[in-house]
Structure 1
Amino acid sequence: SAHAGRLEQAIGGSLILSSIDELNLEQQSAILRFLQEGQIERIGGSNPIRIDSRIITTASQPLTELIEAERFRSDVYYRLGGLEIKLPPLRDRREDIPALAEALLVSSALGGEHKPLGDAAIRSLVNHSWPGNFRELQNRLRQGLLLCDRDEIKPEDLGLAQADTDDAATSNLSLEEFRARAERQALSCSLALAHDNISAAARILKISRVSFYRLMEKYNRGHPGDHYRQGSSPKGDLP
């Protein structure tokens, strides 16, 4: 019986082609034909079907570098065109890791059971080098949920050591850069541990609320009044 494929199902909508950098050259040729003609034919069919949809692709490697290595077709790259968004790897946005980890834990909780990250686990996540980037974070958190037999997840559940540090990421940094990195990590970790409660986060760092506000403004965390209510936890993501 006739069956509509993914491209046909996406007519009038959007289709995400994940990890397009992993396609071989033959598969890229098939994609190129569709991108050029804007139509497809079902297997065994003879009538072309016009496809009007938005194509979104993702890649974990720079496609321009793959083109130079002759592993990705330049004509496919230019046909995709449009808007290109580059997301920094986790190791360059460590201040986001506690919030990302918490959101992933909630979404992937096994059997509806959500276990929080312990203080040591949060520190180990922030200090890890993340060679596997976001997928590694997902896998380590799933592992933590499976292996944890306590009330909160520990570093060993995640397969991380408490003293795990990113030597490569901290080499060749000036004293000022070390201080800035430490302040950003302290800000994010305290907010995560305090469940976004400003007063509690300030107490964890043993500083005043005013000093905490200044830290948030210094590192572009937004104006506290836009995201927090004093003495209560907000609903939604960290700024």
Structure 2
Amino acid sequence: MTVAVELTQASVERSGKRVVGGVDMSVPSGAWFGLIGANGSGKTSLLRALAGRLPLAEGRCLVEGVDLGADRMARARQFGFAPPADRLPEALRVRDLLELVGGDAEVALDRLGPVGTALGIRALCRRWVGDCSAGMRQRVAIALAFVEGRPMTILDEPFNWLDPVAAFDLREALRGRVNDGLTLITALHDLGTLATACDSGLMLAEGRAALTLDRERLAEAAREPRLFERRTIDLLRSGAGRDGHGTGEQACRKG
């Protein structure tokens, strides 16, 4: 197995407060990695730091074997990244945003492939962002993560605000891109997607790694989704793994 991204004792601070502390995380190449945790567990901060939008306070960040922990700009160039949907500039059309990030709009649309079809982006191109609904803005934000054609992409809870059909179509399109070699890292709230779509993952609790989810454990979760959901919710509810030394692992195995 080739490792695309490896974090070692990664820590992130926001407004002088440590929100992620000492996280180890390994993301295989050409796989879908899911990051889960309760609100405030540090998922967004960790992903923003990985994508170069925030600095790493401590730790190493190897991207394809090169330590980019101290170089935010280098990390930003490695990943396609979806901006917050509620912060897209309202005075631009969707097509303008595609051109701003991806260059020529038609080339950018072609790069989206099945993801663009699932998101219905062509039908939105002439819309002003300010006239788009929350769901439409989410579609646009996700599309912006793919228009540069980068081989690694980070999405923060991509299925929020999408209707069931769009969420299903997007999940299938993302799985297809991963099968074709994309390395995908997503923060998720949906345990069903984690169990059935992801190849590996990590649970965060209060800014620390609480539970490592390898391929075998996720395969078990797909076979027994209700049991996996109950155990995972119990861990999230209890804040398991606060010491970062495997409390969550032990609790999950005991069930």
TM-score range (shorter-chain normalised) is: under 0.3
Higher normalized contact order (CA 8 Å, seq sep 6+, divided by chain length) = 2
> Which one has the bigger strand percentage?
2
The normalised TM-score by structure 1 is 0.24
TM-score, reference length from structure 2: 0.23
